[in-house]
Structure 1
Amino acid sequence: MFNKKTDYALNKMDSTAIIYTDAEGTIVRLTRDNFSSLDEFLKWKAWSDANYHITEKSNHLYLDHTLSMTGLSESVAVVPSPELIEETRQATRCHQRLCAELVMKLRVCLTETQFRRLWMYYADGMSEKQIAKLEGVGQQRISKSIVTARKKAKKFLSFQSKNRG
Protein backbone atom coordinates (compact mmCIF):
# COMPACT_ATOMS: atom_id res chain seq x y z
CA MET A 1 0.00 0.00 0.00
CA PHE A 2 1.26 3.49 -0.85
CA ASN A 3 1.94 5.66 2.19
CA LYS A 4 1.19 9.35 1.41
CA LYS A 5 3.11 10.55 4.48
CA THR A 6 6.58 9.31 3.48
CA ASP A 7 9.28 11.79 2.47
CA TYR A 8 9.13 10.35 -1.04
CA ALA A 9 5.38 10.96 -1.35
CA LEU A 10 5.49 14.45 0.15
CA ASN A 11 8.43 15.44 -2.06
CA LYS A 12 6.80 13.98 -5.18
CA MET A 13 3.42 15.63 -4.58
CA ASP A 14 4.91 19.12 -4.13
CA SER A 15 6.66 20.23 -7.31
CA THR A 16 7.44 23.66 -5.83
CA ALA A 17 9.61 22.38 -2.96
CA ILE A 18 12.16 19.83 -1.85
CA ILE A 19 10.78 18.16 1.25
CA TYR A 20 12.76 16.18 3.78
CA THR A 21 12.64 15.25 7.45
CA ASP A 22 15.48 16.57 9.58
CA ALA A 23 17.26 14.72 12.40
CA GLU A 24 14.66 15.84 14.94
CA GLY A 25 11.77 14.53 12.83
CA THR A 26 10.62 17.95 11.61
CA ILE A 27 9.45 18.20 8.00
CA VAL A 28 11.41 20.87 6.14
CA ARG A 29 10.39 22.53 2.84
CA LEU A 30 13.07 24.08 0.65
CA THR A 31 11.56 26.27 -2.07
CA ARG A 32 13.00 28.20 -5.02
CA ASP A 33 13.71 31.08 -2.63
CA ASN A 34 16.27 28.95 -0.74
CA PHE A 35 18.44 28.56 -3.89
CA SER A 36 20.53 31.04 -5.85
CA SER A 37 18.72 30.31 -9.13
CA LEU A 38 15.80 28.38 -10.64
CA ASP A 39 18.27 26.07 -12.43
CA GLU A 40 19.98 25.29 -9.11
CA PHE A 41 16.59 24.49 -7.50
CA LEU A 42 15.47 22.30 -10.44
CA LYS A 43 18.79 20.40 -10.39
CA TRP A 44 18.43 19.57 -6.68
CA LYS A 45 14.69 18.88 -7.01
CA ALA A 46 15.38 16.32 -9.77
CA TRP A 47 18.15 14.77 -7.66
CA SER A 48 15.92 14.52 -4.55
CA ASP A 49 13.07 12.99 -6.57
CA ALA A 50 15.42 10.38 -8.06
CA ASN A 51 17.11 9.66 -4.71
CA TYR A 52 13.79 9.24 -2.88
CA HIS A 53 12.53 6.99 -5.69
CA ILE A 54 15.58 4.70 -5.41
CA THR A 55 15.18 4.54 -1.62
CA GLU A 56 11.44 3.81 -1.95
CA LYS A 57 12.08 1.01 -4.44
CA SER A 58 14.70 -0.61 -2.21
CA ASN A 59 12.32 -0.42 0.75
CA HIS A 60 9.61 -2.12 -1.32
CA LEU A 61 11.95 -4.94 -2.30
CA TYR A 62 12.49 -5.61 1.40
CA LEU A 63 8.97 -4.93 2.70
CA ASP A 64 7.15 -6.77 -0.09
CA HIS A 65 8.95 -9.98 0.92
CA THR A 66 8.53 -9.74 4.68
CA LEU A 67 5.68 -10.15 7.12
CA SER A 68 5.20 -7.73 9.96
CA MET A 69 4.81 -9.37 13.35
CA THR A 70 2.73 -6.40 14.55
CA GLY A 71 -0.77 -7.50 15.41
CA LEU A 72 -0.02 -11.22 15.29
CA SER A 73 -0.55 -13.36 18.35
CA GLU A 74 2.44 -14.89 20.13
CA SER A 75 1.34 -18.37 19.13
CA VAL A 76 2.26 -17.61 15.51
CA ALA A 77 5.92 -17.15 16.42
CA VAL A 78 6.14 -20.19 18.69
CA VAL A 79 8.11 -23.10 17.28
CA PRO A 80 7.52 -26.49 18.90
CA SER A 81 10.54 -28.17 20.42
CA PRO A 82 12.01 -31.31 18.82
CA GLU A 83 10.95 -33.24 21.93
CA LEU A 84 7.33 -32.11 21.53
CA ILE A 85 7.38 -33.01 17.83
CA GLU A 86 8.70 -36.51 18.62
CA GLU A 87 6.19 -36.95 21.46
CA THR A 88 3.37 -35.99 19.09
CA ARG A 89 4.63 -38.45 16.46
CA GLN A 90 4.78 -41.26 19.04
CA ALA A 91 1.27 -40.45 20.27
CA THR A 92 0.02 -40.49 16.68
CA ARG A 93 1.68 -43.86 15.99
CA CYS A 94 0.21 -45.29 19.21
CA HIS A 95 -3.25 -44.01 18.28
CA GLN A 96 -2.95 -45.51 14.79
CA ARG A 97 -1.86 -48.86 16.26
CA LEU A 98 -4.84 -48.89 18.66
CA CYS A 99 -7.21 -48.03 15.81
CA ALA A 100 -5.78 -50.84 13.69
CA GLU A 101 -6.24 -53.28 16.59
CA LEU A 102 -9.82 -52.13 17.05
CA VAL A 103 -10.55 -52.63 13.35
CA MET A 104 -9.07 -56.14 13.50
CA LYS A 105 -11.25 -56.97 16.54
CA LEU A 106 -14.34 -55.67 14.74
CA ARG A 107 -13.51 -57.82 11.71
CA VAL A 108 -13.43 -60.88 14.00
CA CYS A 109 -16.80 -60.30 15.66
CA LEU A 110 -18.79 -59.07 12.62
CA THR A 111 -19.72 -60.72 9.37
CA GLU A 112 -18.01 -59.39 6.26
CA THR A 113 -21.23 -57.65 5.18
CA GLN A 114 -21.81 -56.05 8.59
CA PHE A 115 -18.23 -54.84 8.77
CA ARG A 116 -18.35 -53.40 5.22
CA ARG A 117 -21.63 -51.57 5.87
CA LEU A 118 -20.49 -50.27 9.26
CA TRP A 119 -17.23 -49.06 7.67
CA MET A 120 -19.02 -47.28 4.83
CA TYR A 121 -21.41 -45.66 7.29
CA TYR A 122 -18.89 -44.44 9.89
CA ALA A 123 -15.49 -44.29 8.21
CA ASP A 124 -16.57 -43.23 4.72
CA GLY A 125 -19.47 -41.09 5.96
CA MET A 126 -22.00 -42.58 3.58
CA SER A 127 -25.72 -42.48 4.35
CA GLU A 128 -27.81 -45.63 4.65
CA LYS A 129 -29.54 -44.64 1.41
CA GLN A 130 -26.19 -44.33 -0.44
CA ILE A 131 -25.03 -47.73 0.85
CA ALA A 132 -28.34 -49.33 -0.13
CA LYS A 133 -28.10 -47.90 -3.64
CA LEU A 134 -24.49 -49.07 -3.95
CA GLU A 135 -25.34 -52.61 -2.82
CA GLY A 136 -28.66 -52.78 -4.66
CA VAL A 137 -30.77 -53.46 -1.55
CA GLY A 138 -33.35 -51.52 0.44
CA GLN A 139 -32.38 -48.90 2.99
CA GLN A 140 -34.18 -50.77 5.79
CA ARG A 141 -31.90 -53.79 5.28
CA ILE A 142 -28.82 -51.51 5.61
CA SER A 143 -30.25 -49.84 8.72
CA LYS A 144 -30.93 -53.18 10.44
CA SER A 145 -27.49 -54.48 9.48
CA ILE A 146 -25.76 -51.41 10.96
CA VAL A 147 -27.80 -51.56 14.17
CA THR A 148 -27.05 -55.27 14.57
CA ALA A 149 -23.35 -54.69 13.85
CA ARG A 150 -23.17 -51.91 16.46
CA LYS A 151 -24.81 -54.13 19.09
CA LYS A 152 -22.45 -57.03 18.35
CA ALA A 153 -19.40 -54.74 18.38
CA LYS A 154 -20.44 -53.11 21.65
CA LYS A 155 -21.05 -56.48 23.29
CA PHE A 156 -17.77 -57.90 21.97
CA LEU A 157 -15.70 -54.87 23.03
CA SER A 158 -17.28 -54.67 26.51
CA PHE A 159 -16.58 -58.40 26.94
CA GLN A 160 -12.95 -57.80 25.86
CA SER A 161 -12.48 -54.94 28.35
CA LYS A 162 -13.98 -56.95 31.24
CA ASN A 163 -11.63 -59.86 30.60
CA ARG A 164 -8.60 -57.56 30.55
CA GLY A 165 -9.02 -56.09 34.02
Structure 2
Amino acid sequence: MEKPKNGHSKIENLLVFLSAVFFIYHLTFLINAWPDIPNQIAFHYSNGIPDNFRPKYLLIVIPLIGVLMWCLLGFLVRKPEKLNYINLTEANKDLQYMKARKIMSVVQNASFIMLLFANEAFIRGAMGLEFSFQLSISLLLLVICNLTPLYFLIWAFRLKY
Protein backbone atom coordinates (compact mmCIF):
# COMPACT_ATOMS: atom_id res chain seq x y z
CA MET A 1 0.00 0.00 0.00
CA GLU A 2 1.34 3.38 -0.99
CA LYS A 3 2.01 5.86 1.79
CA PRO A 4 1.25 9.57 1.42
CA LYS A 5 3.81 12.21 2.30
CA ASN A 6 2.79 12.37 5.96
CA GLY A 7 3.65 8.66 6.45
CA HIS A 8 0.08 7.47 7.00
CA SER A 9 -1.77 5.05 4.75
CA LYS A 10 -5.09 6.00 3.19
CA ILE A 11 -7.03 3.84 5.66
CA GLU A 12 -5.29 5.53 8.61
CA ASN A 13 -6.15 8.96 7.22
CA LEU A 14 -9.76 7.85 6.70
CA LEU A 15 -10.01 6.57 10.28
CA VAL A 16 -8.60 9.81 11.69
CA PHE A 17 -11.02 11.80 9.53
CA LEU A 18 -13.98 9.70 10.73
CA SER A 19 -12.88 10.11 14.35
CA ALA A 20 -12.70 13.88 13.92
CA VAL A 21 -16.13 14.01 12.25
CA PHE A 22 -17.74 11.90 14.99
CA PHE A 23 -16.02 13.96 17.69
CA ILE A 24 -17.25 17.26 16.24
CA TYR A 25 -20.75 15.82 15.80
CA HIS A 26 -20.75 14.49 19.36
CA LEU A 27 -19.58 17.77 20.87
CA THR A 28 -22.22 19.66 18.89
CA PHE A 29 -24.91 17.23 20.03
CA LEU A 30 -23.74 17.42 23.65
CA ILE A 31 -23.69 21.22 23.67
CA ASN A 32 -27.13 21.46 22.07
CA ALA A 33 -28.64 18.82 24.36
CA TRP A 34 -27.02 20.07 27.59
CA PRO A 35 -29.97 22.24 28.75
CA ASP A 36 -32.39 19.33 28.22
CA ILE A 37 -30.33 16.81 30.21
CA PRO A 38 -31.45 16.40 33.83
CA ASN A 39 -28.90 17.10 36.58
CA GLN A 40 -28.83 13.39 37.52
CA ILE A 41 -28.51 10.78 34.76
CA ALA A 42 -29.05 7.02 34.88
CA PHE A 43 -25.66 5.35 35.03
CA HIS A 44 -26.57 1.73 35.67
CA TYR A 45 -29.60 -0.34 34.70
CA SER A 46 -30.98 -3.59 36.15
CA ASN A 47 -33.51 -5.31 33.90
CA GLY A 48 -33.98 -2.07 31.96
CA ILE A 49 -34.73 -0.04 35.08
CA PRO A 50 -32.21 2.61 36.18
CA ASP A 51 -30.88 1.89 39.66
CA ASN A 52 -27.81 4.13 39.90
CA PHE A 53 -27.57 7.82 39.07
CA ARG A 54 -24.64 10.20 38.55
CA PRO A 55 -24.30 13.93 37.85
CA LYS A 56 -24.67 14.98 34.23
CA TYR A 57 -21.09 16.31 34.20
CA LEU A 58 -20.00 12.71 33.76
CA LEU A 59 -21.08 13.15 30.13
CA ILE A 60 -18.11 15.51 29.70
CA VAL A 61 -15.62 13.11 31.30
CA ILE A 62 -16.23 10.23 28.88
CA PRO A 63 -15.18 12.19 25.74
CA LEU A 64 -12.16 13.53 27.65
CA ILE A 65 -11.13 9.97 28.50
CA GLY A 66 -11.61 9.11 24.83
CA VAL A 67 -9.33 11.95 23.71
CA LEU A 68 -6.68 10.94 26.26
CA MET A 69 -6.88 7.31 25.18
CA TRP A 70 -6.73 8.34 21.50
CA CYS A 71 -3.54 10.33 22.17
CA LEU A 72 -1.89 7.52 24.15
CA LEU A 73 -2.73 4.90 21.51
CA GLY A 74 -1.45 7.35 18.90
CA PHE A 75 1.99 6.91 20.43
CA LEU A 76 1.87 3.18 19.61
CA VAL A 77 0.67 3.96 16.09
CA ARG A 78 3.68 6.25 15.56
CA LYS A 79 6.14 3.87 17.29
CA PRO A 80 5.15 0.30 16.35
CA GLU A 81 8.58 -0.98 17.43
CA LYS A 82 7.50 -0.44 21.07
CA LEU A 83 5.01 -3.33 20.81
CA ASN A 84 5.80 -7.01 21.46
CA TYR A 85 5.92 -9.27 18.41
CA ILE A 86 5.77 -12.97 17.63
CA ASN A 87 8.21 -14.45 15.11
CA LEU A 88 9.93 -11.10 14.54
CA THR A 89 13.00 -11.40 12.31
CA GLU A 90 15.05 -8.92 10.30
CA ALA A 91 13.37 -10.24 7.16
CA ASN A 92 9.80 -9.61 8.33
CA LYS A 93 10.37 -6.70 10.71
CA ASP A 94 9.12 -3.99 8.34
CA LEU A 95 6.07 -6.03 7.35
CA GLN A 96 5.12 -6.67 10.98
CA TYR A 97 5.65 -3.02 11.92
CA MET A 98 3.44 -1.89 9.03
CA LYS A 99 0.72 -4.39 9.95
CA ALA A 100 0.91 -3.47 13.66
CA ARG A 101 0.63 0.21 12.79
CA LYS A 102 -2.57 -0.43 10.83
CA ILE A 103 -4.00 -2.63 13.58
CA MET A 104 -3.23 -0.06 16.29
CA SER A 105 -4.74 2.68 14.14
CA VAL A 106 -7.97 0.67 13.86
CA VAL A 107 -8.00 0.05 17.63
CA GLN A 108 -7.17 3.70 18.37
CA ASN A 109 -9.95 5.15 16.25
CA ALA A 110 -12.56 2.43 16.83
CA SER A 111 -12.17 2.70 20.62
CA PHE A 112 -12.47 6.48 20.45
CA ILE A 113 -15.63 6.32 18.33
CA MET A 114 -16.95 3.55 20.61
CA LEU A 115 -16.68 5.83 23.65
CA LEU A 116 -18.42 8.63 21.76
CA PHE A 117 -21.32 6.34 20.81
CA ALA A 118 -21.56 5.01 24.38
CA ASN A 119 -21.67 8.57 25.67
CA GLU A 120 -24.30 9.42 23.08
CA ALA A 121 -26.38 6.51 24.37
CA PHE A 122 -26.07 7.95 27.90
CA ILE A 123 -27.16 11.37 26.63
CA ARG A 124 -30.13 10.01 24.72
CA GLY A 125 -31.15 7.81 27.66
CA ALA A 126 -30.97 10.78 30.02
CA MET A 127 -33.23 12.76 27.69
CA GLY A 128 -35.75 9.91 27.51
CA LEU A 129 -34.96 9.14 23.86
CA GLU A 130 -34.33 5.76 22.23
CA PHE A 131 -30.64 4.83 22.51
CA SER A 132 -30.42 1.19 21.38
CA PHE A 133 -28.82 2.11 18.02
CA GLN A 134 -25.98 4.05 19.66
CA LEU A 135 -25.46 1.30 22.22
CA SER A 136 -25.41 -1.37 19.48
CA ILE A 137 -22.82 0.55 17.45
CA SER A 138 -20.74 0.99 20.59
CA LEU A 139 -20.83 -2.75 21.30
CA LEU A 140 -19.98 -3.56 17.68
CA LEU A 141 -16.94 -1.28 17.86
CA LEU A 142 -15.92 -2.95 21.13
CA VAL A 143 -15.95 -6.31 19.33
CA ILE A 144 -13.87 -4.83 16.48
CA CYS A 145 -11.37 -3.45 19.01
CA ASN A 146 -10.95 -6.94 20.46
CA LEU A 147 -10.94 -8.96 17.24
CA THR A 148 -8.46 -6.77 15.37
CA PRO A 149 -5.45 -7.58 17.60
CA LEU A 150 -6.53 -11.24 17.63
CA TYR A 151 -6.37 -11.24 13.82
CA PHE A 152 -2.85 -9.78 14.00
CA LEU A 153 -1.79 -12.42 16.53
CA ILE A 154 -3.02 -15.27 14.32
CA TRP A 155 -1.40 -13.66 11.28
CA ALA A 156 1.95 -13.36 13.13
CA PHE A 157 1.82 -17.00 14.29
CA ARG A 158 1.34 -18.16 10.70
CA LEU A 159 4.20 -16.01 9.38
CA LYS A 160 6.82 -18.34 7.88
CA TYR A 161 9.89 -16.13 7.50
Normalising by structure 2, what TM-score? 0.26
Q: Which has the larger radius of gyration?
A: 1
Normalising by structure 1, what TM-score? 0.26
Higher relative contact order (CA 8 A, sep 6+): 2
